[in-house]
Structure 1
Amino acid sequence: MEKKDAQTTIPDNEFAELILAAKAHDSTAIIKLIELFEDDIKRLSKFIYLPDEEAVAEITTEFLEFVMQGEL
């Protein structure tokens, strides 16, 4: 049985707008970014030797720091 690909995709220009809005501390954009990558964050948290909730929080924090400080 094939796994269904449940990942959400958005156009590049919409993603760029989300990044710019998040850098401007728009809470709605930040939440949308987290929701966009939620499945990936949960999947990656399984490879960190921390309780699941702590691993998800750590990845999310690092992701948001990258978005806010990165030159995207």
Structure 2
Amino acid sequence: MEKENKISVTQKNPPFSTLLLNARSGDGASIIKIVEIFEPDIYNLARFIQLPQEDVIQTLKAELIQLIKQSDIS
């Protein structure tokens, strides 16, 4: 059974801290929303890396997701 204290991410702009807490508890929609928030920065960084842009973007997104899942709340 899922946690009862999860806050819905269906509101238009939930606070980032709410998204982060939900993402860390396994909410896929929150993870997607966080990746969308960082997409402009990811695309900007990808321009400066001397590899195929699609590979760089995919790697940066995967690393961001891994960081979200691994990081400690403290």
User: TM range, normalised to the smaller chain?
Assistant: 0.7 to 0.9
2:55 aligned with 1:17: no
Give the TM-score, by structure 2 length: 0.74
Residue 48 of structure 1 and its aligned partner are, at CA, apart by 1.7
1:3-33 CA deviation, whole Å, 9 max, x = no partner? xxxxxxx67xx11110111111111101100
Count of aligned pairs: 61
The one-letter code of the counterpart of 2:30 is A
1:5 maps to what in 2? none
Query: Percent same amino acid among aligned pairs?
Result: 36
Where does residue 53 of structure 2 map in the other structure? 52
In the alignment, the residues of structure 2 paired with residue 31 and residue 69 of structure 1 have an alpha-carbon distance, to the nearest angstrom, of 16
In the alignment, structure 2 segments of 5+ residues that lack a partner are: 1-12
- Aligned Cα root-mean-square deviation (Å): 1.5
- Structure 2 distance, partners of 1:49, 1:21, is 34
Looking at secondary structure, tell me which structure has more helix per residue. 1
- Which position in structure 1 is the counterpart of 2:9? none
The one-letter code of the counterpart of 1:42 is Y
Structure 1: stretches of 5+ with no match in the other structure: 1-9
